[in-house]
Amino acid sequence: MARRPSVRRAGPEDLDALERLEEAAFGAEDAFSRAQLRRLLGEANATAFLAESGKRAVGSAVVLWRRGAPSARLYTIATDPAFQGQGAGSLLLAACERAASEKGCAQLRLEVRRSNRRAIAFYERRGYRLLEALPGYYPGGEGGLRLAKDLGAPEEGGLRLGVPYYAQTLGFTCGPACLMMAMKHFDPKLRLGRALELMLWKEATAIFMTAGLGGCEPFGLAVAAGRRGYRAEVLMRSRGVPFLGSVRTPEKKEVVRLVHRQMRAEAEALGAAVRYRDFSYLDVVQALREGAVPIVLVSTYRLHGFKAKAPHWVVVTGFEGGHVLLHDPYERHYAPRPRRARHLRVPVQEFRRMKRWGKDSLKSAVFIRRGK
């Protein structure tokens, strides 16, 4: 009966074993070279592990991390084909997760070939989820997948941005109100008022929504920001048209599609970064740490308890004590204590649930940064 593998930290003396495992697992073309492995063993921001069964090395893994970054990266994990199915991979992955957590990282990410169904299933069984597709990521043009697992919420004392507050004056102007708060954060001399609120809405609106006038779509907010010299980054879970399911007639759907295409093209022309992936709370945390002001789409069903599940934009101002801090522009909901709408504390797990809207679980955010 084979002995259950054990895992330990790897050092320079294990270079021969690491090289052999890489070639056995991936072949000479895809394996890391001896020189690459030597550099990894000497890298201050890398931790290498070796799995052993008796005196034989049967698996290896390397995890990378950066100081202050909320996520770590599983750089490589290799198991000797002759010892697969004996638990070495699971033990190595668990060791990498612990190492990442000890370095203050709250998420572990990795890349895997799209064709490697066995590896994908292995990671999914251990709590990893799809973050984004990576077309042409590997040599030869094969696509990959980036997967991630949340290890816990990063705290490190928390962070709070001094974002000024502005309350929306109309039921459909939450997006402009949020953008005004972000712009005022970077330009204290900016005068906020209803005229600017309506101008921004006119530039960013999707035209139609469930009933009456439409709210603002993410690329519209990026356009309005870009026209005024601010840098915007748009994150979308998918390439679908936002809010399309909220309108019922074919004519209105075509208008929403047309507006979305035009806004996306202009946003990109203005220099907006566009990322299609299932972004997480940790992406929001990283944006805050980089000095950006995140504007995030949430569901009013979760935030306000409304039976009508409407999309609603809020500003994330920070995080602390297992909570996310929000500026909710819909101030009237908090009467008779309207100041509760400022730096509203929402548990991290609840925030993860509320930043999905609709039957398609639409997720979107716009990170606003100071202009160049």
Token pair belonging to 15: 């270079």
Going along the chain, which residue ranges are E strands?
Answer: 6-9, 46-53, 56-64, 71-79, 107-113, 129-134, 144-150, 159-160, 231-236, 273-276, 293-299, 311-320, 323-327, 344-347, 364-369
Range(s) of the domain holding residue 170: 159-369
**Element of type H or E holding 17:** helix 15-30
Q: Looking at the predicted structure, is the pLDDT value of residue 124 above 90?
A: yes
Q: Are 230 and 222 in contact (CB under 8 A)?
A: no
Instruction: Round to whole Å and give the CA distance between 310 and 324.
Output: 21
Q: What is the CATH number of the domain that holds 168?
A: 3.90.70.10
- Report, as an integer, the average pLDDT of 19-26: 89
In the prediction, which pLDDT does 330 show? Answer: 95
- Report, as an integer, the average pLDDT of 91-119: 90
In the prediction, which pLDDT does 218 show? Answer: 94
Residue 56 lies in a domain: yes
Instruction: Give tens-digit pLDDT for 284-313.
Output: 888 898 899 999 999 888 888 876 678 899
Q: What is the CATH number of the domain that holds 114?
A: 3.40.630.30
Instruction: Give tens-digit pLDDT for 169-210.
Output: 998 999 999 999 999 999 999 999 999 999 999 999 887 655
Residue 347 lies in a domain: yes
7: phi then psi, degrees, rounded to nearest 5: -120, 140
Q: Could you tell me if 146 and 287 lie in one domain?
A: no
> How many domains would you assign to the chain?
2
Confidence of residue 85 (pLDDT cuts 50, 70, 90): confident
pTM above 0.85, yes or no: no
In the prediction, which pLDDT does 226 show? Answer: 97
In the prediction, which pLDDT does 78 show? Answer: 92
Residue 1 lies in a domain: no
Instruction: Give tens-digit pLDDT for 313-348.
Output: 999 999 987 889 999 999 999 989 999 999 999 988
199 secondary structure, DSSP code: H
- Report, as an integer, the average pLDDT of 27-55: 86
Instruction: Give tens-digit pLDDT for 260-285.
Output: 999 999 999 999 999 887 788 878 88
195: phi then psi, degrees, rounded to nearest 5: -60, -45
Q: Could you tell me if 323 and 365 lie in one domain?
A: yes
Q: Could you tell me if 222 and 311 lie in one domain?
A: yes
Q: Which residue is listed with tokens 């005004």?
A: 180
In the prediction, which pLDDT does 223 show? Answer: 97
Q: Looking at the predicted structure, is the pLDDT value of residue 224 above 90?
A: yes
Burial 208-220 (b: 16+ CB within 10 A, else e): bbeeeebbbbbbb
- CA torsion, ordered 294, 266, 146, 20, to nearest 10 deg: -120
Confidence of residue 365 (pLDDT cuts 50, 70, 90): very high
Q: Could you tell me if 186 and 102 lie in one domain?
A: no
Q: Could you tell me if 86 and 222 lie in one domain?
A: no
First to last CA, the chain: 64
Q: Could you tell me if 124 and 270 lie in one domain?
A: no
